[in-house]
Every structure is written in structure tokens, then in C-alpha cells.
A and B are shown apart, each in its own frame.
Chain A
């Protein structure tokens, strides 16, 4: 069942690899599209089979591999990975679809795309932390080539920077993973048994002391913090986005960054709960700083892609805030925010890509008046306005509900940090409005008089994303119901031990306990 998601694209890679040179390389696109469609259909089928009410992992597949070091091929699915898996399949299809059909070296390109899809799916499904690590590292290779070969003018610089950063992230992660396994005395790298050892029953002390957990947590935070990325580990991202071609940007923002947050939730919150709870006030502060930093950097950018990239940094920070609060609500919010960010940033990068393709520029001080109904890009512009509004959190679209849940889930635990994050949301409108006003409003200058007409094939992927953003915004329970039961299992303690919540509590009356008491007293009064 699940192996299909990993091995089928690899089969596609193989097919494209042994493709005879004599055949028209145009078919490479069809093959890749076919594979991507099959994957999406399969993922949706899986989602229908998936039982949201079940707490344990589903569709488990286990094949002993290198038992000597405790590494096994073990895939399974839960409510955290399912939405991300769907996102992965969907955005891969969209990325392949929106690739320029005349692209150079098509076989290699499409093979890399499929390889990327396969490794990301593997990482989301792996139930063995070493297996996760292998997929996590594998995904760097195709992405490096995708940026380095099909990128913009400074692609070499950007790709190398990306490679060095992520490779460093990989090393730190590996060190932490090995530390977690060896220090906790687990016999293998299997995730569930490991978690059982460390977390244990609610009342027994965990397998790793707080001090050890803190040391290991540093590695996890740096490793995934680079991937997500958080300030000050983010500088590879704007460069990579600017140089990457549109489909690669879509995948990078939409799916690959989610590997970081996924890892943070699964391995940070899941495996090192004591350290997580201990550090969480500072993590929330970090989230607020990162959000405000990304936001204020975005305001002054001149390149549309950079604006979207910094916006991405700001919005990913909300996931850290939600994870730091780690209430039931905020954990679900984190999943929602991942999905919503994937859809919205994917949409924005797609649209910027169309603008770039048609006008040859992404410079906000050059482009003007693109909303012109006759000679401009009116539909693309309208979708851009929608995407921007979704990102700014206008209700009715998926951005609002995930941000609302994030803030509502985190506020009882970290009110001040949450308020600062909300400030960042407010400022989102500032830079995106500047972008819309400069690029799409105003008079179309004469230099842009001959924009090639936009084809329906350019609009279709963006239109699909817009539809999804609306659908999930109006009916958010479609995301929530998949993850609700199983996310709850990841929460470190329920409820939090009071000595930890009182470490940092700016508003004393606002502890979670007091709110529970309040809620109870109200319900008692209501009952009376």
C-alpha cells in the first residue's frame, strides 16, 4: 500500500533513466505526468481507506533490512503524515504540469522530480528514525541538481549554499538521532518502541534525563531549524527560491520545508518531550522573533519571489509557536498551518512564475499595471490578490482558520508571544499589498505592451490551488478530522506539569489550569 508511494516514482525514475535516446524526449513529460497522476489518485484512495478514529499507526509495512544495526524498512501512516503526503502528491503533479514543456534535458529533469517525490514520501512515512534520515538526505540530491542545472543566473551559488546548509543540518540530525537511540538504550531505530522507552507511562520518569534531552534537542532544533527555516538559519532559502525555477520553488516551499516542521513535531515533540516542554517558552519567543523578522525583511524586498520567500519564513514560524504551546488545539493547528502554507505559498510561487514567464521580470519597481484587462494578466492578477489575501488571513480561505487555531491554541500558554505573532500576521498585509499595488495596479507601461497571452494550461494549476484554498477555508473540518485523534497522542504531557508552565508565565492569571477551572465553573453555573 504505502510502498507504492515510494517505489512507483522510483520505477518512473528508472524508466526515464533507461529511456532510449532515439525516442522523442517529449514523452518524458507524459510519463512523469502519468506517474504523478497515479500517485495522487493512490494517495487520495489511501486517504479514503484511512481511519481517522484509530490512534495507532495504519497500513504498516515491515521488512527487516540491516538488523545488525537495528535498521528496518518500516512504513506506516498517521494523521500527521497523511495531509502532508496528499500535499506532496498534489504539488508534485502541479509542479510537473507547470514545467515548461520545452525544458532542456527533460529526461533528467523529470527523473529528478520523481526522485524528489519518492524521497519526500518516504520521509513522511518512515517509522524508523534512521530510515527517515536516509530519505531526508536522499531528498537533498535531486533538489540540489534541480536548482543547480535549471536555476537562474546565480544558481551555482544558491545550490551550493543550499547543499552546504542542508548537509550540515543532516549531520547534526544524525548525531542527535544516534544519541537518542544509543543513550536511551533502545535496541533498534524503530520509532514507536523508542518513544515508548523515552516517554514511558505518564507517571514514570522518562528514559533520558532532562540534561541529555536538552543536549540532543539542540541538534534537532538546529537541524530542522535550517530546513524550515528559522531566523538566523534561513539565509539559504531566499537565495534558493530566487534562483530555482518556478516548479522547484513550488515544491520547495510547499513540501520540502514541511519536512522540517514534520520532523520537529515527530522527533522533537515526540521523542524529547521533557526538553521540549522545558524549552517551549523560549521556542515561542524564537517563533515570534522569526515571524517578525521574516515579515519585516519582506517589506523592503524588490524581487517578488524574495517577498514570497520571506513571507514563507514568517508563516512557518507560526508552526513553531503552535508546537511550542503543544496543546491539543495548537498541535492540530500546526498541521493545518502546514497544509495551508503549502497550498498558499505554492499558489503564490506559481503565479509569480507566470508573471516572470510572461514579462521576463520579477522586479517590483519595473512591473506595473498588470491587472489591465486587455493587455495585462487580469486573471493571474485576480488569483494573486486571492492568494495574498489568503496568506494575510482573510476569513473564508484556509489561511485564516489555521492561523486562528494556532493563535487560539497558543494564547492560553504563551499570550505575549502569540500577540507578537499576530502582529506579524497583521504586517503580512503590508508587504503583500505593496506588491499588489506596485505590480498589478497602476497604468501598464509601454515596455510591457506585448505580454504574450496566458494559456489555460498556465492558469489551471493555480485555479486548482485557489479552489482548494477556498474549499478548506470554508470547510476546515476536512483537514482537522484526519489528524484530530492521532495528533493528540503526540502531546508531551496532558495536562502540563505546573512547575514547567510556571517557569515563564507573563500573565499569572492566565495559566492553563486557571482557565480550565474557569471553564468548569462556568459550565457548573450553566448547569445550575
Chain B
């Protein structure tokens, strides 16, 4: 059967399994909503004073996250059937997707830090393999390597943090950690270091500065996996961060670091996104920017907001990427300056893009509109700088999405878009389903107890710490739309003639040259160190050993010429040797011996 139909059955089987788990989750979700959270413990390893057990949490939040994972995974797998129709190793892709989904689902329900860490690492591995899916292309090889290594940096630091936490006597389930963090008093430096090390893992996963470049490069991988990566995977990194929040509140340095990282990424990535010409890359930078907001929210301790941000962003971004994938497949290109006029040719794709974009910004009453309303008027602490930052991110996001929309869908058709058809049903179906889901999302009952911290499950919409905050936010969106609409668009790859403008554009288009910075810092250090040790190994350590060997051999070589065959010379050598030994042995006794002989001699003479 495999021979006749190709590797398709593997894909069907995987999709069937995902459908089953999706149905199961939906049923379970209905049940769980009515119940208090439960925890299941599985003893994994008990050795000496260390007890590693895996905890599974069954709560509305975890099952909800599970539902999200399986739903988006199901859609992107169906989508992949169409997208990878011509690909020859589709079964490998689906195998990896299954692995990917399993790890994600595990993180969703895991309630133990060590289990989450293990699953995050598996995520790193599966990202490596999925990004490297088309491993014959040099860019892909580089991208997969960078994705793995960047995430690995974060993961190792996270592991250091886990080892440290566990050594300080903390249990490794999240609830134990919460209890522990409330009862412990450690020196501030230690607390800060612990917190920082725990941030590092999610920083890598969520593509935050300075570990942000992998997500952009990872766009070389197949698009259905890109959908997962930009929506669910980054969310799961942040999900772990949210669960770790009690520890971050231990030290002000940690929360400050979170806010710094988040703000830097939010501003920087928003700017970078505007200067990109690759449709996937610009959207992936925008992912980093939104995840930056999540970091800020966690840093401020507003976990409910963080969770809500994650969810809203995940589904909107997934939809945008479905739409992007269709564009890429139909036009065989990713460069938005080469596109145009697609709106009439690809109506479903266009509507998906519009809906996704609209729910990612605050203009129309859709996803982020509701989200922001909650944040701004829900009685949360909102410092002024954060408000300004949010205004900026919103405006920049609107500008960028408008720019993309104009370049891709409006204007006159270009060479690549002239014959672009709408995608086939296998891709259209999940895309349209997702469009409907995103449209319906704002109607999701807010009374669902989807929140981590128990404070406000009833949402208040009249407590705002900044007057007129929400109208100002909408205004920022509208102004951004205006700028994006009026902005001069460059079709060709021409660069601005003004020096400063060009400098600015290059700086943004090349991601602030962060990869160069890596090149001259971390990479250079590792390279120099390895060059030094290799040199040391080859010439000093091994050289010394070989030198000793050579000297031994050479001295043997030299000595062999002493073998002359003349018995007199042998005799002489022996005599000289013996007398030397005797002289050395009797060194102390010479006076006595001389005395003895002289007395003997004198007695002989006297007689």
C-alpha cells in the first residue's frame, strides 16, 4: 500500500490521531471547566536525596492550552497535506509534526519544571529537525543549526537554574516552587541569578533579544511548521515563563530584567519588521515583538494578562501564517516587493490575511481590541512608559501589516502574481476554518475561569489608571493605518538615496546587525578558544610527549655508536665505570682509606 500510494498513510494516521486528541480535549475541557484543578503525580526517579516526579495538571488553563495546541496542529497538518503535496518525504514531515505536537501538548499539561524542561528540549530538537527538513539547501542547514544552538544556549542556562533551584531544596513542581519561593530567604544575588537563569530558557524559546534571530532564520523551514512555530511554540515558551512567575517575584532584578528584555524586543522587533521584504520574516519579527509584551506582563506580575496576550496572539498569528503559506505556494516567492494585486485572485487568502491582521491590532473590535480593553481598563497597574510602548507597538504593527497588505494584495499584478490561483481545498479548508475561529474568538465567554492567579475572574471595564487610555490606543492604531496607507512603497530593490535614511533602513533590514555582534563576540570567543586549545594540543601537549619520545630514541641512537667491538675499549669503559662508582661510594671514606694506607706504608718502610 505504501508502495502504491506513497507515504500518504503516515500523514493520514497522524491526522487521525490529532483529530482524536482534539475531540478528547474538547470533551475534557467541558468537564474540567466545572471542576477545581487537579494534579496527577508520577514518580519517575528516586535517588539518594533527589526525588524527580512528573506532575500533570488538569485545570481549565492547561486543558485549554492543550486544546489550542491540538486544534492548531490539526489545522496545520491538514494544511500541510496540501502544502507539501509534491514533497517526497511527507511521512518524515508528519512524523516530526507528531513529535512536535506531543512535546507541545506535554508542556501544556505539565506541572513540573523538570518535565517542562525536558519537553522544551525536545521542542528544540524537533525545531532543529523541522527547520532542517529541506536539508539539502545551504541556508536551511545554517538556519537549523542557528535555531538549535540559540535555543540550546537558553536551555543550558535554564538547566543551570533548575540544578540550582533543586540544590537549594526546592521541589520541582510549579506548585512546590510557589510555596518554596514564599518561604525562602536567599541572598539577593543568588535570587537574582536563579531568576535570570530561569528567564534564559523562555528567552530563547520566545525569540527575545538577544536570542531572537533564530525565529527569523527558521522561516526557511516548511510553512505548516512555521504556523506552529510562530503561534504555539513561542507561546509554550512563554507559558513556562508564566508558570515560573512566583520565582521572578523573588528578586526585583529578575522582574526588571524581564521588563527590559520584553521592552527592547518589542520596540526593536517592531522596527525591524517594518524594514523586511520577506513576508515570513517580517511576520516572525512581529511575533518576537508581541512576545516581548508577554515578557513585560510577566515582569509586572500580571499573569492573567500575559496568558490572555498569548492566546490572542497565537490564533491571530496562526491565521496570518496560513494566509502567508498560501501566498508563498501560489507565487513561488517570499519577497513582498515582487507581489501585488492578489486580492481578486485569492479571495480566501485575502480575507484570512485581513481578519488575522485586524485581530492582531487595536482598531476594530476583534481579538487584540478585547485584549487591550481588558489590560487598559481592567484595573491593572499600567505605568505610563508601558502605555507609550503599547501605543508604539500597536502603531508599528498596524503600519507594517498595512504595508504588507498593500504590497501583496493591492496594486497591479506583477510577474509572479499574474497567474497565481487560489489554493486547493486542503489548504483552503483549514485557512477558512481558522478565519471563522478568529472571527468568533472575541465572543469567547470571559467568565471562563481561564486564569492562573485567582484574583479577578469577573472583568471590570471601568478602572483605568491612565485617563482615556483606550481611545488613545485606538487612535494610535488609526494613525498607524493612515501612515501605512500613505507611505511611499518601493517595488524594486532600490535603496533610499538619503544617507541617514539608508543607514536606518539597512540597520533595520539587517536586524540591527545582531548576527554580526554574535559573530564578533560569542562565536569569536568559542572559535578563538578552540583554535588555541587545538594548537596547544597539537604542538605543546602532544609535542612535549613526542619530544620526550624522540629524545629517548635519539639518545639510544647516539649510544649505539659506542658499540665498537674492541674488547679493550669495553674493558676500559667497565674499569672507568667501576672506579667512578667506587669513588662515589667511598667519597666520605677517602681520608680514612688514605690514612690506613699511609700508616700501612710507613710501617712497611720502617721495618
Q: Is the C-beta of A279 less than 8 angstroms from some C-beta in chain B?
A: no
User: In the complex, which residue of chain A has the Cβ closest to the Cβ of B49?
Assistant: A329
A389-423 near B? 1/0 per residue, CB < 8 Å: 10010111000110011011101100100110011
- Contact with A426, one of B141, B153, B537, B542 (Cβ below 8 angstroms): B153
Kindly provide the distance from the CB of B445 to the nearest chain A CB, expressed in whole angstroms: 37
Residues from chain A with a CB closer than 8 A to the CB of B136 are 369, 372, 441-443
Stretch of B114-122, B229-237, B426-434 on the interface side:
B114-122
Q: Is the C-beta of B164 less than 8 angstroms from some C-beta in chain A?
A: yes
- Contact with B138, one of A297, A409, A442 (Cβ below 8 angstroms): A442
Verify B526–A427 contact, CB threshold 8 A: yes
Residues from chain A with a CB closer than 8 A to the CB of B119 are 395
Verify A373–B89 contact, CB threshold 8 A: yes
- Contact with B50, one of A408, A415, A433 (Cβ below 8 angstroms): A408
Kindly provide the distance from the CB of B325 to the nearest chain A CB, expressed in whole angstroms: 24
Verify B167–A411 contact, CB threshold 8 A: yes
Given A407-B163, A443-B136, A477-B45, A433 contacting B156 (CB threshold 8 A) = no
Docked CA distance A430–B146 (Å): 10
Residues from chain B with a CB closer than 8 A to the CB of A426 are 152-153, 156
A311-342 near B? 1/0 per residue, CB < 8 Å: 00000000000000001110010000000000
Give B513-561 interface residues, CB cut-off 8 Å to A. 526-527, 529-534, 537, 541-542, 545, 549
Verify A371–B534 contact, CB threshold 8 A: no
Residues from chain B with a CB closer than 8 A to the CB of A299 are 526-527, 530
Q: Is the C-beta of A128 less than 8 angstroms from some C-beta in chain B?
A: no
Q: Is the C-beta of A480 less than 8 angstroms from some C-beta in chain B?
A: yes
Residues from chain B with a CB closer than 8 A to the CB of A501 are none
Residues from chain B with a CB closer than 8 A to the CB of A183 are none
Residues from chain B with a CB closer than 8 A to the CB of A372 are 136
Verify B89–A433 contact, CB threshold 8 A: no
Verify A437–B141 contact, CB threshold 8 A: yes
Docked CA distance A161–B187 (Å): 52
User: In the complex, which residue of chain A has the Cβ closest to the Cβ of B88?
Assistant: A373
- Of A373, A401, A509, A522, chain B has the most CB atoms within 10 Å of the CB of A522
Verify A441–B135 contact, CB threshold 8 A: yes
Verify A418–B163 contact, CB threshold 8 A: yes
Give A472-507 interface residues, CB cut-off 8 Å to B. 476-477, 480, 484, 488, 507
Residues from chain A with a CB closer than 8 A to the CB of B532 are 296
Kindly provide the distance from the CB of A388 to the nearest chain B CB, expressed in whole angstroms: 10
Verify A300–B531 contact, CB threshold 8 A: yes
- Contact with B125, one of A394, A415, A427 (Cβ below 8 angstroms): A394
Residues from chain A with a CB closer than 8 A to the CB of B184 are 518, 522
Q: Is the C-beta of B159 less than 8 angstroms from some C-beta in chain A?
A: yes
Verify A509–B164 contact, CB threshold 8 A: no
Verify B118–A518 contact, CB threshold 8 A: no
Kindly provide the distance from the CB of A294 to the nearest chain B CB, expressed in whole angstroms: 9
Q: Is the C-beta of B243 less than 8 angstroms from some C-beta in chain A?
A: no
B134-146 near A? 1/0 per residue, CB < 8 Å: 0110101100110
Given A408-B166, A441-B132, A297 contacting B45 (CB threshold 8 A) = no
Residues from chain B with a CB closer than 8 A to the CB of A396 are 118, 122
Verify A296–B530 contact, CB threshold 8 A: yes
Verify B48–A522 contact, CB threshold 8 A: no
B20-56 near A? 1/0 per residue, CB < 8 Å: 0000000000000000000000000111111000000
Residues from chain A with a CB closer than 8 A to the CB of B534 are 296-297, 300-301
Q: Is the C-beta of A232 less than 8 angstroms from some C-beta in chain B?
A: yes
User: In the complex, which residue of chain A has the Cβ closest to the Cβ of B160?
Assistant: A422
Q: Is the C-beta of A304 less than 8 angstroms from some C-beta in chain B?
A: no
Verify B163–A433 contact, CB threshold 8 A: no
- Of B125, B140, B152, chain A has the most CB atoms within 10 Å of the CB of B152
Verify B163–A484 contact, CB threshold 8 A: no
Residues from chain B with a CB closer than 8 A to the CB of A443 are 136
Docked CA distance A433–B147 (Å): 11
Q: Is the C-beta of A188 less than 8 angstroms from some C-beta in chain B?
A: no
Docked CA distance A405–B167 (Å): 11
Verify A404–B141 contact, CB threshold 8 A: no
Residues from chain B with a CB closer than 8 A to the CB of A164 are 549
Given A296-B530, A297-B534, A300-B531, A522 contacting B50 (CB threshold 8 A) = no
Q: Is the C-beta of B257 less than 8 angstroms from some C-beta in chain A?
A: no
- Of B140, B168, B184, B527, chain A has the most CB atoms within 10 Å of the CB of B168
Docked CA distance A369–B545 (Å): 38
Given A442-B135, A522-B183, A389 contacting B125 (CB threshold 8 A) = yes
Verify A235–B542 contact, CB threshold 8 A: yes
- Tell me the dominant secondary structure on chain B's binding face: helix
Docked CA distance A426–B156 (Å): 6
Docked CA distance A249–B216 (Å): 41
Verify A235–B149 contact, CB threshold 8 A: no
Residues from chain B with a CB closer than 8 A to the CB of A518 are 168-169, 184
Given A327-B48, A426-B156, A408 contacting B118 (CB threshold 8 A) = no
B88-127 near A? 1/0 per residue, CB < 8 Å: 1100000000000000000000000000011101101100
Q: Is the C-beta of A466 less than 8 angstroms from some C-beta in chain B?
A: no
Docked CA distance A164–B169 (Å): 48
Residues from chain B with a CB closer than 8 A to the CB of A161 are 545, 549
Kindly provide the distance from the CB of A522 to the nearest chain B CB, expressed in whole angstroms: 6
Kindly provide the distance from the CB of B249 to the nearest chain A CB, expressed in whole angstroms: 19
User: In the complex, which residue of chain A has the Cβ closest to the Cβ of B140?
Assistant: A441
Docked CA distance A405–B530 (Å): 28
Q: Is the C-beta of A425 less than 8 angstroms from some C-beta in chain B?
A: yes
User: In the complex, which residue of chain B has the Cβ closest to the Cβ of A443?
Assistant: B136
Q: Is the C-beta of A41 less than 8 angstroms from some C-beta in chain B?
A: no
User: In the complex, which residue of chain B has the Cβ closest to the Cβ of A369?
Assistant: B136
User: In the complex, which residue of chain A has the Cβ closest to the Cβ of B535?
Assistant: A300
Q: Is the C-beta of B579 less than 8 angstroms from some C-beta in chain A?
A: no
Verify A332–B48 contact, CB threshold 8 A: yes
Verify A296–B526 contact, CB threshold 8 A: yes
Q: Is the C-beta of B148 less than 8 angstroms from some C-beta in chain A?
A: yes
Q: Is the C-beta of A525 less than 8 angstroms from some C-beta in chain B?
A: yes
Docked CA distance A369–B135 (Å): 8
Residues from chain A with a CB closer than 8 A to the CB of B48 are 327-329, 332, 409, 484, 488
Residues from chain B with a CB closer than 8 A to the CB of A373 are 88-89
Kindly provide the distance from the CB of B579 to the nearest chain A CB, expressed in whole angstroms: 32
Docked CA distance A328–B50 (Å): 10
Verify B148–A433 contact, CB threshold 8 A: yes
Residues from chain A with a CB closer than 8 A to the CB of B549 are 161, 164
Q: Is the C-beta of B598 less than 8 angstroms from some C-beta in chain A?
A: no
Residues from chain A with a CB closer than 8 A to the CB of B533 are 293, 296-297
Kindly provide the distance from the CB of B104 to the nearest chain A CB, expressed in whole angstroms: 15
- Contact with B121, one of A296, A394, A411, A477 (Cβ below 8 angstroms): A394
- Contact with A395, one of B118, B190, B542 (Cβ below 8 angstroms): B118
Kindly provide the distance from the CB of B391 to the nearest chain A CB, expressed in whole angstroms: 39
Docked CA distance A301–B526 (Å): 14
Residues from chain B with a CB closer than 8 A to the CB of A477 are 45-47
Q: Is the C-beta of A519 less than 8 angstroms from some C-beta in chain B?
A: yes
User: In the complex, which residue of chain B has the Cβ closest to the Cβ of A426?
Assistant: B156
Verify B152–A429 contact, CB threshold 8 A: yes
- Contact with A515, one of B117, B167, B531 (Cβ below 8 angstroms): B167
- 24 CB < 8 A contacts A-B: A161-B549, A235-B541, A293-B533, A293-B537, A296-B532, A296-B533, A297-B533, A300-B534, A301-B534, A394-B122, A396-B118, A396-B122, A401-B45, A408-B167, A422-B163, A433-B145, A433-B149, A437-B145, A509-B187, A510-B167, A515-B167, A515-B168, A522-B180, A526-B179
Q: Which 10 residue pairs across A and B have the least CB separation, nearest first?
A: A395-B118, A426-B156, A299-B530, A328-B48, A329-B48, A296-B530, A441-B135, A235-B542, A519-B169, A296-B533
Query: B residues near A, CB below 8 A?
Result: 45-50, 88-89, 117-119, 121-122, 124-125, 129, 132, 135-136, 138, 140-141, 144-145, 148-149, 152-153, 156, 159-160, 163-164, 166-169, 179-180, 183-184, 186-187, 190, 526-527, 529-534, 537, 541-542, 545, 549
Known: A231-B541, A434-B145. 14 other contacts (CB 8 A): A235-B542, A297-B534, A300-B530, A385-B129, A409-B48, A411-B164, A411-B167, A418-B163, A426-B152, A429-B148, A442-B135, A477-B47, A480-B47, A515-B168
